[in-house]
Amino acid sequence: MRILLIICFLLGTVLQVSAQGKSDAKKSAAAKPANGKTSGNPVFPGWYADPEGIIFGNEYWIYPTYSAPYEEQVFMDAFSSPDLVNWTKHSRIIDTASIGWADSAMWAPSIIEKDKKYYLFFGANDIQSDRALGGIGVAVADNPAGPFKDHLGKPLVDKFHNGAQPIDQFVFRDEDGQHYLIYGGWRHCNIAKLNDDFTGFVPFEDGTTFKEVTPEGYVEGPFMFRKDGKYYFMWSEGGWGGPNYQVAYAISDSPMGPFKRVDTILKQDPKVATGAGHHSVIHNAAKDKWFIVYHRRPLGETAANHRVTCIDKMEFDANGHIKPVKITFEGVPKLKVK
C-alpha cells in the first residue's frame, strides 16, 4: 500500500509540473513577438504606467511609473531598446532612499539630457495641500540608466499654483534651447520657464512664474512637441482608474497657447484594452516615424493599478491633425534609431 501511495504521489507531482510547464510556455509564447517584427503590446512585462518615451543616442528609452499602491510605489525602473523589439530592464534607477524628502508615491517621470547630464523630474508624496511635504522633484545622473540622485534636496515645486496639484510633470525643450516645465493635476495645468541648471525658474516678463494654460477637458498628464512650426499640446481626460481614460490634443503657434481642444486621439477599444491614457510621443526624425507610448488596462482587469505600457504608431493627416490612434496587440514594426 505504501509503495502504491508513493507511486501516486510521484505521478501527481509529474502531472502538476507538466501542467505548470505548459502554462509557463503558453505565457512565454504570448509575450513573444507574433511574427518576429514587433515587440507586441505590452512592450515589456509588469504593471507600469505613465510612460515617458525618448531617444538617447542610438537607443529608445521608456521611463514609466511602477504601478502599485502608493506605499509600494517607492522606486522606478527604466527600459531601453535599440529597435523597439528587444528591451533591457534597468532596475531601480531611483528610489525614495535617495530622495530625502520623498517617502511614497513616486510617479510620472519625465527626463531630459542637458550638458551630458540626465535630469529626471518626478512627482512624490501626492500632496493634497500646501501644508504637506512633497510635489515635483528633480534627480540627476551621468547615465540614462542612473543611478539618479536628488538634485536639489527639496521639491522644485511644492505648492499649488493656479489650482494645479504639483504632479504629472513634463519638460519641454523649445528650438531656441529654452526648457519649460509643464505640469498639473486637479484639472489645472501650468507652464513655467526653467533656469539653466534646473534649480528653479525664470519669471516671465510680467513677473509671474507659473502661467495657467489649461485647455477644455484637461485632467492631467500633459505632453508637448513641436512639428512644422506648431506646438502640439496633449493631455489625459477622465479618471485614471476607470475604463474611459483618454488622450486629447490642441495646436497653437506658441508654447504658451492659447490651446483650443481639437479632438480625442487615444481611447479604449473594447476588443483590445480599456483605460488608454497618460502618454508620451517618440519621434524618429531620421525615418520621420511617430509613436505614441501610453498605458492601458488589459481586458478583464479591474484593479486600478493593473496597467501596462504599450506603443502604437501615430500619424497625421494633410492638415497636420493627429489621426485617431488604433490601439493594437501587435505594437509597432522593428525600427532602429538610425
The position carrying cell 496633449 is 234
- Of 50, 77, 168, 237, which residue is the catalytic one? 50
10 Å CB burial of residue 156 (0-12, 13-18, 19+) is: buried
Concerning whether 263 is annotated as a catalytic residue, the answer is no
Q: Which has the closest alpha carbon to 309: 89, 145, 138?
A: 89
> Among 126, 220, 237, 312, which one carries the catalytic annotation?
220
Largest CA distance in the chain: 92
Sheet holding 135-141, edge to edge: 107-114, 117-124, 135-141, 149-150
Three-class DSSP category at 45: coil
Q: Is 220 a catalytic residue?
A: yes
For residue 147, whether the previous peptide bond is cis, meaning omega lies within 30 degrees of 0, is yes
Measured on CA atoms in the order 252, 256, 257, 259, is the torsion positive or negative?
Answer: positive
Task: Identify the CA nearest to 139 among candidates 93, 185, 181, 172.
Answer: 93
Picking from 159, 119, 163, the residue whose alpha carbon sits closest to that of residue 142 is 119
Q: What are the CB-based long-range contacts (under 8 Å, 24+) for 147-154?
A: 147/92, 147/93, 147/94, 147/98, 148/93, 148/94, 148/98, 148/118, 148/120, 149/98, 150/98, 150/99, 150/100, 151/119, 151/198, 151/199, 152/199, 153/100, 153/101, 154/101
Residues annotated as catalytic (active site), given as ranges: 50, 220
